[in-house]
Structure 1
Amino acid sequence: MHTTALVLFSGGQDSTTCLAQALSKYERVETLGFDYGQRHHIEMDTRRVVLANLRERFPQWAPHMGEDHVLTLAALQQLGGSSLTDEVAFAMQADGLPNTFVPGRNLLFLTLAGALAYRRGLQVIVTGVCETDFSGYPDCRDDTMKAMQIALSLGLERRLLIETPLMWIDKADTWALAHSLGGQALVDLIIEDTHTCYLGDRVHRNAWGYGCGTCPACELRQRGWARYSARDANASSSP
Protein backbone atom coordinates (compact mmCIF):
# COMPACT_ATOMS: atom_id res chain seq x y z
CA MET A 1 0.00 0.00 0.00
CA HIS A 2 1.34 3.41 -0.95
CA THR A 3 1.59 5.91 1.90
CA THR A 4 3.99 8.60 0.61
CA ALA A 5 3.96 10.87 -2.42
CA LEU A 6 5.89 13.61 -4.20
CA VAL A 7 3.70 16.16 -6.00
CA LEU A 8 5.11 18.17 -8.91
CA PHE A 9 3.84 21.50 -7.70
CA SER A 10 4.01 24.67 -9.79
CA GLY A 11 1.46 26.61 -7.76
CA GLY A 12 -1.12 26.54 -10.55
CA GLN A 13 -4.70 25.31 -10.58
CA ASP A 14 -3.90 21.79 -11.72
CA SER A 15 -1.00 21.06 -9.39
CA THR A 16 -2.85 22.57 -6.43
CA THR A 17 -5.81 20.28 -7.09
CA CYS A 18 -3.45 17.32 -7.39
CA LEU A 19 -1.78 18.31 -4.12
CA ALA A 20 -5.13 18.52 -2.34
CA GLN A 21 -6.03 15.04 -3.54
CA ALA A 22 -2.66 13.65 -2.48
CA LEU A 23 -3.04 15.21 0.98
CA SER A 24 -6.43 13.54 1.27
CA LYS A 25 -4.94 10.20 0.27
CA TYR A 26 -1.38 9.79 1.56
CA GLU A 27 0.23 9.96 5.01
CA ARG A 28 3.21 12.07 3.91
CA VAL A 29 3.27 14.36 0.91
CA GLU A 30 6.25 16.41 -0.26
CA THR A 31 6.25 18.95 -3.08
CA LEU A 32 8.68 19.78 -5.87
CA GLY A 33 8.89 22.93 -7.97
CA PHE A 34 11.16 23.80 -10.88
CA ASP A 35 12.80 27.11 -11.70
CA TYR A 36 13.67 26.87 -15.40
CA GLY A 37 13.74 30.52 -16.41
CA GLN A 38 10.02 30.59 -17.19
CA ARG A 39 8.53 33.93 -18.23
CA HIS A 40 5.84 33.43 -15.60
CA HIS A 41 8.49 33.19 -12.87
CA ILE A 42 5.94 34.74 -10.52
CA GLU A 43 4.64 31.20 -10.03
CA MET A 44 7.71 30.49 -7.89
CA ASP A 45 6.45 33.12 -5.43
CA THR A 46 2.77 32.21 -5.56
CA ARG A 47 3.45 28.52 -4.91
CA ARG A 48 4.83 29.42 -1.48
CA VAL A 49 1.67 31.37 -0.73
CA VAL A 50 -0.50 28.43 -1.78
CA LEU A 51 1.43 26.03 0.45
CA ALA A 52 1.19 28.36 3.45
CA ASN A 53 -2.54 28.90 2.99
CA LEU A 54 -3.22 25.19 2.55
CA ARG A 55 -1.55 24.56 5.91
CA GLU A 56 -3.49 27.35 7.58
CA ARG A 57 -6.95 26.85 6.11
CA PHE A 58 -7.04 23.06 5.93
CA PRO A 59 -5.80 21.81 9.32
CA GLN A 60 -6.83 18.27 8.41
CA TRP A 61 -4.16 18.28 5.68
CA ALA A 62 -1.39 20.14 7.51
CA PRO A 63 -0.01 17.07 9.36
CA HIS A 64 0.51 15.33 6.01
CA MET A 65 2.41 18.21 4.38
CA GLY A 66 6.12 17.44 4.25
CA GLU A 67 9.12 19.28 2.89
CA ASP A 68 8.97 21.51 -0.19
CA HIS A 69 11.81 21.28 -2.71
CA VAL A 70 12.85 23.56 -5.58
CA LEU A 71 15.29 22.52 -8.31
CA THR A 72 16.79 24.74 -11.01
CA LEU A 73 16.87 23.78 -14.69
CA ALA A 74 18.64 26.61 -16.47
CA ALA A 75 19.38 24.31 -19.40
CA LEU A 76 15.76 24.61 -20.60
CA GLN A 77 16.13 28.37 -20.91
CA GLN A 78 19.50 27.95 -22.62
CA LEU A 79 17.90 25.71 -25.23
CA GLY A 80 15.35 28.47 -25.91
CA GLY A 81 12.85 28.40 -28.75
CA SER A 82 9.75 28.39 -26.54
CA SER A 83 7.41 31.25 -25.74
CA LEU A 84 7.52 30.08 -22.13
CA THR A 85 11.22 30.91 -21.86
CA ASP A 86 11.74 33.53 -24.61
CA GLU A 87 10.06 36.89 -25.19
CA VAL A 88 8.19 35.79 -28.33
CA ALA A 89 4.51 35.82 -29.25
CA PHE A 90 2.39 32.73 -28.73
CA ALA A 91 1.97 30.89 -32.03
CA MET A 92 1.71 27.48 -33.66
CA GLN A 93 4.88 25.87 -34.95
CA ALA A 94 5.38 24.16 -38.29
CA ASP A 95 5.14 20.75 -36.57
CA GLY A 96 1.62 21.55 -35.37
CA LEU A 97 2.59 22.09 -31.73
CA PRO A 98 2.18 25.44 -29.96
CA ASN A 99 5.42 27.28 -29.28
CA THR A 100 4.59 27.10 -25.57
CA PHE A 101 5.92 23.54 -25.82
CA VAL A 102 9.26 23.22 -24.00
CA PRO A 103 10.86 20.06 -25.49
CA GLY A 104 11.75 17.52 -22.85
CA ARG A 105 10.44 19.61 -19.94
CA ASN A 106 8.15 17.02 -18.38
CA LEU A 107 10.65 14.25 -19.12
CA LEU A 108 13.30 16.14 -17.16
CA PHE A 109 10.81 17.02 -14.43
CA LEU A 110 9.87 13.38 -13.94
CA THR A 111 13.47 12.16 -14.07
CA LEU A 112 14.51 14.58 -11.35
CA ALA A 113 11.33 13.83 -9.40
CA GLY A 114 12.24 10.15 -9.56
CA ALA A 115 15.73 10.86 -8.24
CA LEU A 116 14.32 12.97 -5.41
CA ALA A 117 11.67 10.39 -4.58
CA TYR A 118 14.43 7.78 -4.41
CA ARG A 119 16.45 9.88 -1.97
CA ARG A 120 13.42 10.80 0.14
CA GLY A 121 11.89 7.34 0.22
CA LEU A 122 8.70 8.43 -1.56
CA GLN A 123 6.63 5.87 -3.43
CA VAL A 124 4.34 7.89 -5.73
CA ILE A 125 5.02 10.80 -8.09
CA VAL A 126 1.92 12.91 -8.73
CA THR A 127 1.72 15.20 -11.75
CA GLY A 128 -1.13 17.27 -13.18
CA VAL A 129 -0.65 16.40 -16.86
CA CYS A 130 -3.82 15.96 -18.87
CA GLU A 131 -4.74 14.55 -22.25
CA THR A 132 -8.35 15.79 -22.29
CA ASP A 133 -7.90 19.55 -22.03
CA PHE A 134 -4.33 20.16 -23.15
CA SER A 135 -2.33 21.90 -25.86
CA GLY A 136 -1.10 18.84 -27.71
CA TYR A 137 2.10 18.44 -25.71
CA PRO A 138 3.45 14.92 -26.37
CA ASP A 139 5.05 14.79 -22.91
CA CYS A 140 1.61 15.12 -21.27
CA ARG A 141 0.17 12.00 -22.85
CA ASP A 142 -0.83 8.92 -20.89
CA ASP A 143 1.50 6.75 -22.99
CA THR A 144 4.41 9.02 -22.09
CA MET A 145 3.59 8.79 -18.39
CA LYS A 146 3.38 4.99 -18.53
CA ALA A 147 6.70 4.80 -20.38
CA MET A 148 8.35 7.12 -17.83
CA GLN A 149 7.01 5.04 -14.96
CA ILE A 150 8.61 1.93 -16.42
CA ALA A 151 11.88 3.72 -17.22
CA LEU A 152 12.22 5.25 -13.77
CA SER A 153 11.34 2.03 -11.97
CA LEU A 154 13.91 0.11 -14.01
CA GLY A 155 16.60 2.79 -13.90
CA LEU A 156 16.30 3.33 -10.16
CA GLU A 157 15.73 -0.33 -9.31
CA ARG A 158 12.76 0.75 -7.25
CA ARG A 159 9.06 0.55 -8.05
CA LEU A 160 7.69 4.06 -8.56
CA LEU A 161 4.11 4.89 -9.42
CA ILE A 162 3.34 7.95 -11.55
CA GLU A 163 -0.15 9.13 -10.70
CA THR A 164 -2.03 11.49 -13.05
CA PRO A 165 -5.36 12.45 -11.40
CA LEU A 166 -6.34 14.89 -14.18
CA MET A 167 -5.40 12.79 -17.20
CA TRP A 168 -8.95 12.11 -18.40
CA ILE A 169 -10.88 15.13 -17.10
CA ASP A 170 -11.26 18.64 -18.48
CA LYS A 171 -10.76 21.98 -16.73
CA ALA A 172 -14.39 22.19 -15.64
CA ASP A 173 -14.04 18.80 -13.98
CA THR A 174 -10.80 19.96 -12.37
CA TRP A 175 -12.69 22.81 -10.70
CA ALA A 176 -15.33 20.30 -9.62
CA LEU A 177 -12.69 17.94 -8.25
CA ALA A 178 -11.21 20.76 -6.17
CA HIS A 179 -14.66 21.49 -4.74
CA SER A 180 -15.21 17.84 -3.87
CA LEU A 181 -11.86 17.76 -2.04
CA GLY A 182 -11.95 21.03 -0.11
CA GLY A 183 -15.32 22.66 -0.73
CA GLN A 184 -15.73 26.31 -1.69
CA ALA A 185 -12.77 27.18 0.54
CA LEU A 186 -10.39 25.31 -1.77
CA VAL A 187 -12.02 26.75 -4.89
CA ASP A 188 -11.59 30.24 -3.45
CA LEU A 189 -7.95 29.55 -2.62
CA ILE A 190 -7.30 28.38 -6.18
CA ILE A 191 -8.96 31.49 -7.59
CA GLU A 192 -7.08 33.92 -5.36
CA ASP A 193 -3.67 32.35 -4.83
CA THR A 194 -2.73 30.05 -7.71
CA HIS A 195 -1.09 31.23 -10.90
CA THR A 196 -1.63 30.02 -14.46
CA CYS A 197 -1.03 32.98 -16.79
CA TYR A 198 1.97 32.46 -19.08
CA LEU A 199 2.66 36.20 -19.04
CA GLY A 200 2.88 36.29 -15.25
CA ASP A 201 0.00 38.78 -14.90
CA ARG A 202 -0.95 39.25 -11.23
CA VAL A 203 -2.66 42.60 -11.85
CA HIS A 204 -5.89 41.71 -13.64
CA ARG A 205 -8.32 39.88 -11.34
CA ASN A 206 -10.95 37.78 -13.11
CA ALA A 207 -13.75 35.59 -11.78
CA TRP A 208 -11.44 32.58 -12.23
CA GLY A 209 -8.32 34.25 -10.83
CA TYR A 210 -5.45 36.50 -11.89
CA GLY A 211 -4.19 36.59 -15.46
CA CYS A 212 -4.06 38.41 -18.77
CA GLY A 213 -7.10 36.51 -20.06
CA THR A 214 -5.63 36.10 -23.55
CA CYS A 215 -2.69 33.70 -23.32
CA PRO A 216 -3.39 29.98 -23.96
CA ALA A 217 -3.26 29.10 -20.25
CA CYS A 218 -5.70 31.84 -19.28
CA GLU A 219 -8.10 30.95 -22.08
CA LEU A 220 -8.15 27.31 -21.00
CA ARG A 221 -8.70 28.17 -17.35
CA GLN A 222 -11.40 30.71 -18.23
CA ARG A 223 -13.32 28.26 -20.44
CA GLY A 224 -13.18 25.61 -17.73
CA TRP A 225 -14.44 28.07 -15.14
CA ALA A 226 -17.33 29.10 -17.40
CA ARG A 227 -18.42 25.49 -17.89
CA TYR A 228 -18.03 24.68 -14.20
CA SER A 229 -19.96 27.80 -13.14
CA ALA A 230 -22.78 27.07 -15.60
CA ARG A 231 -23.00 23.49 -14.38
CA ASP A 232 -23.02 24.62 -10.75
CA ALA A 233 -25.71 27.24 -11.47
CA ASN A 234 -27.91 24.64 -13.18
CA ALA A 235 -27.52 22.25 -10.28
CA SER A 236 -28.44 24.98 -7.78
CA SER A 237 -31.58 25.89 -9.70
CA SER A 238 -32.80 22.32 -10.01
CA PRO A 239 -35.72 21.43 -7.72
Structure 2
Amino acid sequence: MTSSSRALVLFSGGQDSTVCLAWALARYDRVETVGFDYGQRHAVELAQRSVIRERFLSAFPLWAPRLGEDHMLEMRGFGAIGETAMTQDRAFEVTEKGLPNTFVPGRNLVFLTYAAALADRRQAGILVGGMCETDFSGYPDCRRDSLDALQGALNLGMAQDFRIETPLMWLTKAETWGLAQALGGAALVDLILEDSHTCYRGERGARHAWGHGCGACPACELRAKGWDEWVAAGRPLTAIP
Protein backbone atom coordinates (compact mmCIF):
# COMPACT_ATOMS: atom_id res chain seq x y z
CA MET A 1 0.00 0.00 0.00
CA THR A 2 1.08 3.57 -0.61
CA SER A 3 1.82 5.92 2.29
CA SER A 4 0.41 9.40 2.85
CA SER A 5 3.76 10.36 4.39
CA ARG A 6 5.67 9.68 1.16
CA ALA A 7 5.52 12.05 -1.81
CA LEU A 8 6.71 11.97 -5.40
CA VAL A 9 7.36 15.41 -6.89
CA LEU A 10 7.16 16.03 -10.63
CA PHE A 11 10.48 17.86 -10.85
CA SER A 12 11.52 19.54 -14.10
CA GLY A 13 14.30 21.77 -12.78
CA GLY A 14 12.16 24.89 -13.24
CA GLN A 15 11.04 27.55 -10.78
CA ASP A 16 7.64 26.07 -10.03
CA SER A 17 8.76 22.50 -9.51
CA THR A 18 11.63 23.69 -7.29
CA VAL A 19 9.16 25.50 -5.05
CA CYS A 20 6.98 22.38 -5.05
CA LEU A 21 9.96 20.29 -3.98
CA ALA A 22 10.59 22.61 -1.04
CA TRP A 23 6.88 22.52 -0.16
CA ALA A 24 6.90 18.72 -0.14
CA LEU A 25 10.11 18.49 1.90
CA ALA A 26 8.59 20.78 4.53
CA ARG A 27 5.53 18.54 4.75
CA TYR A 28 6.32 14.86 4.12
CA ASP A 29 8.67 12.33 5.71
CA ARG A 30 10.07 10.97 2.44
CA VAL A 31 10.20 12.85 -0.85
CA GLU A 32 11.40 11.47 -4.18
CA THR A 33 11.56 13.28 -7.52
CA VAL A 34 10.76 12.30 -11.08
CA GLY A 35 11.71 14.05 -14.31
CA PHE A 36 10.59 13.50 -17.89
CA ASP A 37 12.71 13.67 -21.02
CA TYR A 38 10.15 14.25 -23.77
CA GLY A 39 12.58 15.84 -26.23
CA GLN A 40 12.01 19.37 -24.95
CA ARG A 41 14.10 22.01 -26.71
CA HIS A 42 14.99 23.47 -23.30
CA ALA A 43 16.55 20.19 -22.15
CA VAL A 44 19.05 22.23 -20.12
CA GLU A 45 16.37 22.18 -17.42
CA LEU A 46 16.99 18.46 -17.01
CA ALA A 47 20.67 19.09 -16.32
CA GLN A 48 19.72 21.60 -13.63
CA ARG A 49 17.71 19.02 -11.73
CA SER A 50 20.77 17.35 -10.18
CA VAL A 51 22.32 20.77 -9.44
CA ILE A 52 19.21 21.84 -7.54
CA ARG A 53 18.95 18.58 -5.63
CA GLU A 54 22.57 18.92 -4.49
CA ARG A 55 21.92 22.50 -3.41
CA PHE A 56 18.95 21.34 -1.35
CA LEU A 57 21.15 18.82 0.43
CA SER A 58 23.78 21.41 1.33
CA ALA A 59 21.60 24.46 1.97
CA PHE A 60 18.76 22.86 3.93
CA PRO A 61 20.14 20.30 6.41
CA LEU A 62 16.74 19.84 8.06
CA TRP A 63 15.24 18.74 4.75
CA ALA A 64 18.21 16.72 3.51
CA PRO A 65 17.30 13.45 5.32
CA ARG A 66 13.87 13.53 3.70
CA LEU A 67 15.11 13.83 0.11
CA GLY A 68 15.05 10.40 -1.46
CA GLU A 69 15.82 8.97 -4.88
CA ASP A 70 15.53 10.73 -8.21
CA HIS A 71 14.00 9.07 -11.26
CA MET A 72 14.26 10.08 -14.92
CA LEU A 73 11.73 8.71 -17.42
CA GLU A 74 12.37 8.78 -21.18
CA MET A 75 9.28 9.91 -23.13
CA ARG A 76 10.64 11.24 -26.41
CA GLY A 77 8.11 9.27 -28.43
CA PHE A 78 5.28 11.06 -26.67
CA GLY A 79 6.93 14.46 -27.11
CA ALA A 80 7.25 13.95 -30.85
CA ILE A 81 3.51 13.33 -31.28
CA GLY A 82 2.43 16.88 -30.44
CA GLU A 83 4.77 18.69 -32.87
CA THR A 84 4.76 21.79 -30.67
CA ALA A 85 7.12 24.70 -30.05
CA MET A 86 8.28 22.89 -26.90
CA THR A 87 9.94 20.16 -28.95
CA GLN A 88 10.62 21.90 -32.27
CA ASP A 89 12.53 25.06 -33.18
CA ARG A 90 9.46 27.14 -34.02
CA ALA A 91 8.28 30.65 -33.26
CA PHE A 92 6.03 31.00 -30.24
CA GLU A 93 2.48 31.80 -31.34
CA VAL A 94 -1.18 31.11 -30.68
CA THR A 95 -2.79 28.26 -32.62
CA GLU A 96 -6.17 28.19 -34.35
CA LYS A 97 -7.58 26.63 -31.17
CA GLY A 98 -6.63 29.75 -29.22
CA LEU A 99 -3.92 27.92 -27.27
CA PRO A 100 -0.20 28.74 -27.25
CA ASN A 101 1.79 26.40 -29.49
CA THR A 102 3.87 25.57 -26.41
CA PHE A 103 0.93 23.43 -25.25
CA VAL A 104 1.87 19.76 -25.49
CA PRO A 105 -1.51 17.97 -25.65
CA GLY A 106 -2.05 15.76 -22.63
CA ARG A 107 1.42 16.30 -21.22
CA ASN A 108 0.42 16.73 -17.58
CA LEU A 109 -2.05 13.86 -17.84
CA VAL A 110 0.64 11.54 -19.19
CA PHE A 111 3.25 12.78 -16.72
CA LEU A 112 0.95 12.12 -13.78
CA THR A 113 -0.03 8.70 -15.10
CA TYR A 114 3.62 7.69 -15.39
CA ALA A 115 4.30 9.24 -12.00
CA ALA A 116 1.43 7.29 -10.44
CA ALA A 117 2.78 4.03 -11.83
CA LEU A 118 6.17 4.86 -10.31
CA ALA A 119 4.59 6.01 -7.05
CA ASP A 120 2.76 2.70 -6.79
CA ARG A 121 6.09 0.89 -6.86
CA ARG A 122 7.75 3.40 -4.52
CA GLN A 123 4.82 3.32 -2.06
CA ALA A 124 4.24 7.06 -2.34
CA GLY A 125 0.64 8.15 -1.88
CA ILE A 126 1.14 11.83 -2.76
CA LEU A 127 1.87 13.19 -6.24
CA VAL A 128 3.01 16.83 -6.24
CA GLY A 129 2.91 19.01 -9.36
CA GLY A 130 3.39 22.70 -10.13
CA MET A 131 0.23 23.12 -12.21
CA CYS A 132 -1.42 26.51 -11.82
CA GLU A 133 -4.66 28.13 -12.98
CA THR A 134 -3.84 31.67 -11.87
CA ASP A 135 -0.75 32.56 -13.93
CA PHE A 136 -0.84 30.00 -16.71
CA SER A 137 -0.91 29.95 -20.49
CA GLY A 138 -4.39 28.53 -20.91
CA TYR A 139 -3.25 24.90 -20.85
CA PRO A 140 -6.42 22.85 -20.13
CA ASP A 141 -4.48 20.11 -18.33
CA CYS A 142 -3.30 22.64 -15.73
CA ARG A 143 -6.83 23.13 -14.43
CA ARG A 144 -7.74 21.68 -11.07
CA ASP A 145 -10.90 20.04 -12.43
CA SER A 146 -8.79 18.18 -15.00
CA LEU A 147 -6.52 16.93 -12.25
CA ASP A 148 -9.44 15.95 -10.02
CA ALA A 149 -10.84 13.84 -12.85
CA LEU A 150 -7.44 12.26 -13.44
CA GLN A 151 -6.98 11.56 -9.74
CA GLY A 152 -10.25 9.65 -9.72
CA ALA A 153 -9.30 7.67 -12.80
CA LEU A 154 -5.86 6.78 -11.42
CA ASN A 155 -7.31 5.57 -8.15
CA LEU A 156 -9.95 3.50 -9.91
CA GLY A 157 -7.50 2.06 -12.41
CA MET A 158 -4.74 1.28 -9.91
CA ALA A 159 -6.86 0.44 -6.86
CA GLN A 160 -5.00 3.12 -4.92
CA ASP A 161 -5.73 6.24 -2.92
CA PHE A 162 -3.39 8.73 -4.57
CA ARG A 163 -3.73 12.43 -3.85
CA ILE A 164 -2.55 14.94 -6.45
CA GLU A 165 -1.30 18.01 -4.62
CA THR A 166 -0.91 21.32 -6.50
CA PRO A 167 0.38 23.92 -4.01
CA LEU A 168 0.71 26.61 -6.69
CA MET A 169 -2.74 26.15 -8.22
CA TRP A 170 -4.21 29.46 -7.03
CA LEU A 171 -1.00 31.53 -6.75
CA THR A 172 0.29 34.18 -9.12
CA LYS A 173 3.95 34.05 -10.10
CA ALA A 174 4.60 36.88 -7.65
CA GLU A 175 2.98 34.83 -4.91
CA THR A 176 5.08 31.83 -5.91
CA TRP A 177 8.20 33.88 -5.19
CA GLY A 178 6.65 34.77 -1.85
CA LEU A 179 5.97 31.10 -1.10
CA ALA A 180 9.61 30.27 -1.82
CA GLN A 181 10.66 32.96 0.65
CA ALA A 182 8.22 31.65 3.27
CA LEU A 183 9.42 28.07 2.85
CA GLY A 184 13.18 28.49 2.64
CA GLY A 185 14.02 32.14 3.13
CA ALA A 186 16.61 33.98 1.08
CA ALA A 187 18.55 30.75 0.54
CA LEU A 188 15.70 29.19 -1.44
CA VAL A 189 15.05 32.36 -3.43
CA ASP A 190 18.75 32.56 -4.32
CA LEU A 191 18.77 28.88 -5.31
CA ILE A 192 15.84 29.44 -7.67
CA LEU A 193 17.46 32.53 -9.17
CA GLU A 194 20.83 30.88 -9.76
CA ASP A 195 20.04 27.26 -10.54
CA SER A 196 16.47 26.73 -11.74
CA HIS A 197 15.67 26.96 -15.46
CA THR A 198 12.44 28.14 -17.06
CA CYS A 199 13.40 29.62 -20.45
CA TYR A 200 11.76 27.75 -23.35
CA ARG A 201 14.74 28.48 -25.59
CA GLY A 202 17.12 26.82 -23.13
CA GLU A 203 19.37 29.88 -22.77
CA ARG A 204 21.36 30.16 -19.55
CA GLY A 205 23.91 32.78 -20.54
CA ALA A 206 22.50 36.06 -19.26
CA ARG A 207 21.73 36.42 -15.55
CA HIS A 208 18.81 38.79 -15.12
CA ALA A 209 17.38 39.99 -11.83
CA TRP A 210 14.89 37.11 -11.99
CA GLY A 211 17.37 34.43 -13.09
CA HIS A 212 18.79 32.98 -16.31
CA GLY A 213 17.00 32.97 -19.67
CA CYS A 214 16.50 34.65 -23.03
CA GLY A 215 14.14 37.22 -21.50
CA ALA A 216 11.77 37.14 -24.48
CA CYS A 217 10.01 33.76 -24.54
CA PRO A 218 6.64 33.34 -22.77
CA ALA A 219 8.21 31.51 -19.81
CA CYS A 220 10.83 34.19 -19.24
CA GLU A 221 8.29 36.98 -19.55
CA LEU A 222 5.99 35.37 -16.99
CA ARG A 223 8.84 34.68 -14.57
CA ALA A 224 10.19 38.25 -14.92
CA LYS A 225 6.72 39.77 -14.48
CA GLY A 226 6.18 37.80 -11.29
CA TRP A 227 9.57 38.79 -9.92
CA ASP A 228 9.00 42.48 -10.67
CA GLU A 229 5.56 42.43 -9.04
CA TRP A 230 6.89 40.65 -5.95
CA VAL A 231 9.80 43.08 -5.56
CA ALA A 232 7.55 46.10 -6.15
CA ALA A 233 5.22 44.85 -3.42
CA GLY A 234 8.07 44.67 -0.94
CA ARG A 235 8.67 40.92 -1.25
CA PRO A 236 5.76 39.86 0.94
CA LEU A 237 5.56 36.30 2.21
CA THR A 238 2.86 34.00 0.88
CA ALA A 239 0.96 31.84 3.34
CA ILE A 240 2.01 28.20 2.99
CA PRO A 241 -0.97 26.24 1.65
TM-score (norm 1): 0.96
Q: SS state of the match for residue 30, structure 1?
A: strand
Give 5+ residue unaligned stretches, structure 2: none
Identical residues among aligned pairs (%): 58
CA distance in 2, matches of 1:233, 1:52: 26
Q: What's the CA shift for 1:76? A: 2.5
Asked if the contact 1:76/1:102 (under 8 Å) is kept, the reply is: no
2:154 aligned residue: 152
Q: Distance in 1 between matches of 2:152 and 2:79?
A: 28
Counterpart of 2:92?
A: 90
Please give the alpha-carbon distance, in whole angstroms, between the structure 2 residues aligned to 1:93 and 1:106. Answer: 19
Q: Distance in 2 between matches of 1:57 and 1:160?
A: 30
Q: Does 1:26 align with 2:22?
A: no
- For the residue of structure 2 that corresponds to 1:232, the secondary structure is coil
SS, match of residue 25 in structure 1: coil
Q: Secondary structure at the match of 1:175?
A: helix
- RMSD value over aligned CA atoms? 1.2
Q: Is the CA contact 2:13–2:196 (under 8 Å) kept in the aligned structure 1? A: yes
What pairs with 1:207-222 in structure 2 (closer than 5 Å)?
207-222=209-224
Q: Does 1:138 align with 2:163?
A: no
Asked whether the 8 Å contact 1:129–1:164 carries over to 2, the reply is: yes
What whole-Å deviation, never above 9, does each CA across 1:48-88 have from its counterpart, x for those lacking one?
A: 10000011110010000000000010123321420000111
Q: What SS class does the counterpart of residue 232 from structure 2 fall into? A: helix
**Contact 2:79 2:104 survives alignment (8 Å):** no
Q: What is the CA–CA distance in structure 2 between the aligned matches of 1:133 and 1:203, rounded to whole Å? A: 26
The one-letter code matched in structure 2 to 1:55 is L
| C-alpha distance in 1 between matches for 2:5 and 2:38 | 30
The one of 199, 204, 207 aligned to 2:206:
204
Q: Tell me, what secondary structure is at the counterpart of 2:26? A: helix
Aligned residue pairs total 235
Match of 2:42 in 1: 40
Distance in 1 separating the partners of 2:236 and 2:141:
36
SS of match in other structure, 1:7: strand
Distance 1:138 1:42 in 2: 25
Alignment match, 1:129: 131
Using the TM superposition, give the Cα deviation of residue 104 of structure 1 relative to its aligned residue in structure 2, in angstroms.
1.1
* Alpha-carbon spacing, 1:234–1:39, altered in 2? closer, same or farther (3 Å): closer
1:99-178 to structure 2, matched below 5 A, reads 99-178=101-180
1:5 aligns with 2:7: yes
Aligned amino acid, residue 202 of structure 2: G
Match of 1:186 in 2: 188
Q: Unaligned 5+ residue runs, structure 1?
A: none
How far the C-alpha of 1:179 sits from its partner, in A, is: 0.2
| Aligned partner (choices 36, 51, 54) of residue 52 of structure 1 | 54
Is the Cα contact below 8 Å between 1:153 and 1:159 reproduced in 2? yes
Distance in 2 between the 1:124 and 1:233 partners? 30
TM-score (norm 2): 0.95
CA distance in 1: counterparts of 2:166 and 2:87, whole angstroms: 25
How far 1:192 sits from its partner (Å)? 0.2
Change (3 A) 1:167 1:233: closer
Give every structure 1 segment of 4 or more consecutive aligned residues whose post-TM-superposition deviation is greater than 2 Å: none
CA contact (8 A) 2:129 2:164 kept: yes
Aligned mates of 1:233, 1:40 — CA distance in 2: 29
